[in-house]
Amino acid sequence: MPRFLLCLAAVIAGLTGCSPKETAPEVRWRFLGGRVLQLQTNAPVLREVLNLPQAKALAAPLTSQLARAWWTFGKGETEPTPDALDAGAILLRDLLNELSIGEVVTSSGGGREFALAIQVPAERVPLWEKAWPAWIKALRAAQVSPGSGSPSVTRHDVWLLAVSDSKLLPPDPTLLRLAAYPPVAGALLQFEMAIPGLPASQVAFTATNGTVRASAGITTLKPLPSSLPPWDIPQFIREPLIQFTAVRELNSVTEGWFDSTPWTGGRWPNQMYSWGQPSLSMRYPFLAAQTDDPQGFLDHWHQRLQNSFAPASPSPLYKGRLVQETNRLIIVGGLPVAPVLQANTQEQKPFVTFGVIPMIRTTNPPAAEMVAQMSRPNVVLYDLEFTSEAVKQWNAVFQIPELLEGRQAIMSYPGTQWLLAAGPKIGECVTTMTIEGERKLQILRKSPVGLSGLELTLLTKWLDPEPPLRRQITNSPVRSKQ
Give 245-292 pLDDT, tens digit per residue.
Answer: 999 999 999 999 999 999 999 999 999 999 998 875 555 678 999 999
Counted domains in the chain: 2
Question: Is the pLDDT assigned to residue 14 strictly greater than 60?
Answer: no
Find, among 309, 481, 317, 316, the residue nearest to 410 by Cα. Answer: 481
Residue 423 Cα to chain centre, angstroms? 18
In a domain, 11, yes or no: yes
Residues 230 and 362 in one domain: yes
Find, among 480, 280, 310, the residue nearest to 392 by Cα. Answer: 280
pLDDT digits (tens, 9 = 90+) for 208-248: 999 999 999 999 999 999 999 999 999 999 999 999 999 99
Residues 184 and 226 in one domain: no
Query: What is the span of the domain harbouring residue 159?
Result: 2-207
In a domain, 469, yes or no: no
Question: Is the pLDDT assigned to residue 77 strictly greater than 60?
Answer: yes
Q: Does residue 436 contact residue 378 with C-beta atoms inside 8 Å?
A: yes
162 compared with 10, residue with greater pLDDT: 162
| Last-in-domain residue among 186, 207, 228 | 207
pLDDT digits (tens, 9 = 90+) for 110-160: 889 999 999 999 999 999 999 999 999 999 999 988 888 999 999 999 999
**Cis amide linkage into residue 336, ω under 30° from 0:** no
Distance set, CA 158 to CA 30, 117, 180 (Å)? 16, 10, 17
Residues 203 and 251 in one domain: no
- DSSP code, position 306: G
181 compared with 345, residue with greater pLDDT: 181
- DSSP code, position 152: E
In a domain, 452, yes or no: yes
Residues 13 and 100 in one domain: yes
Distance set, CA 33 to CA 21, 28, 147 (Å)? 31, 15, 29
Residues 134 and 82 in one domain: yes
In a domain, 131, yes or no: yes
Residues 258 and 197 in one domain: no
Distance set, CA 334 to CA 240, 283, 342, 400 (Å)? 30, 18, 18, 10
End-to-end distance of the chain based on CA atoms, in angstroms? 42
328-332 and 340-344: which strand pairing?
A: antiparallel
Find, among 35, 17, 11, the residue nearest to 98 by Cα. Answer: 35
Residues 28 and 162 in one domain: yes
Q: Does residue 242 contact residue 286 with C-beta atoms inside 8 Å?
A: no
In a domain, 283, yes or no: yes
**Confidence band, pLDDT 50/70/90 cuts, at residue 1:** very low
pLDDT of residue 281: 52
Residues 6 and 117 in one domain: yes
Question: Is the pLDDT assigned to residue 19 strictly greater than 80?
Answer: no
Residues 156 and 239 in one domain: no
% of the chain beyond a pLDDT of 90: 81
pLDDT of residue 7: 41
Find, among 15, 41, 93, 67, the residue nearest to 463 by Cα. Answer: 67
3-class DSSP assignment, residue 168: coil
pLDDT of residue 147: 81
Residues 375 and 238 in one domain: yes
Residues 45 and 179 in one domain: yes
**Confidence band, pLDDT 50/70/90 cuts, at residue 477:** very low
Mean pLDDT of the chain: 91
Distance CA 274, CA 8 (A): 50
In a domain, 345, yes or no: yes
Residues 337 and 298 in one domain: yes
In a domain, 22, yes or no: yes
User: What number is the average pLDDT over the span 367-390?
Assistant: 96
In a domain, 60, yes or no: yes
